[in-house]
Amino acid sequence: MLRIDRATYDAIVAHAKRDHPDEACGIVAGPEGSDRPERMVEMVNAAGSPTFYEFDSTELLALYKQMWANDEEPVVVYHSHTATEAYPSRTDIGLAQEPGAHYVLVSTREHGNNDGPVEFRSYKIVDGEVTEEEVDVVEALPPEERVTP
């Protein structure tokens, strides 16, 4: 299950609507091992395309270096589909290389840049296997449980 706070959910949807008809993409980082999507980072779609997305390689390195410095990892990797359903394409499955991440797909095919509901779905993609999971949108993430040794 993906548990995500309302503000981050809304920000991902807003990004997808803004970039329509091109695909929008980004990540939500969180503390390593926490499964908490806490820090959203919008990325430029270097492909600038309605059917493909790719993080710019220089920005990708900068993003990961920042996450390493913060002891973070990509908890959510999101992108939009602008003409098809919010389900991973064959390309998405073939290129998914973050086995720990929740892959979020947003489809803007219904309303494009305009207001209106969107499909927002989440998947695990591991070794070419896609497993859809429930999305639990909460007002705020619960306080982090600190394990004291």
Partner 1 sequence: MSVEVRIPTILRTYTGGEKAVTGEGANLSALIDDLEANHPGIKERLVEPKDAGPDLRRFVNVYVNDEDVRFLGGLDAELSDGDQVVVLPAVAGG
Distance of CA 8 to the CA centre of its chain: 10
Measured CA to CA, the distance from residue 109 to residue 53 in angstroms comes to: 16
If the CB atoms of residues 95 and 138 are measured against partner 1, the closer one turns out to be: 95
Tokens of 117: 């509901």
Asked if 37 touches partner 1 (CB under 8 A), the answer is no
Contact present, 81 and 90 (Cβ < 8 Å) = no
Measured CA to CA, the distance from residue 21 to residue 72 in angstroms comes to: 31
Binding mask 87-116 for partner 1 (x = CB under 8 A): -xxxxx--xxxxxx----------------
Asked if 60 touches partner 1 (CB under 8 A), the answer is yes
Q: Which one of residues 8, 20, 73, 123 is an interface residue with partner 1 (CB under 8 A)?
A: 73
For partner 1, the binding residues (CB under 8 A) are: 25, 27, 43, 47, 51-55, 57-58, 60-61, 64, 73-74, 77, 79, 88-92, 95-100
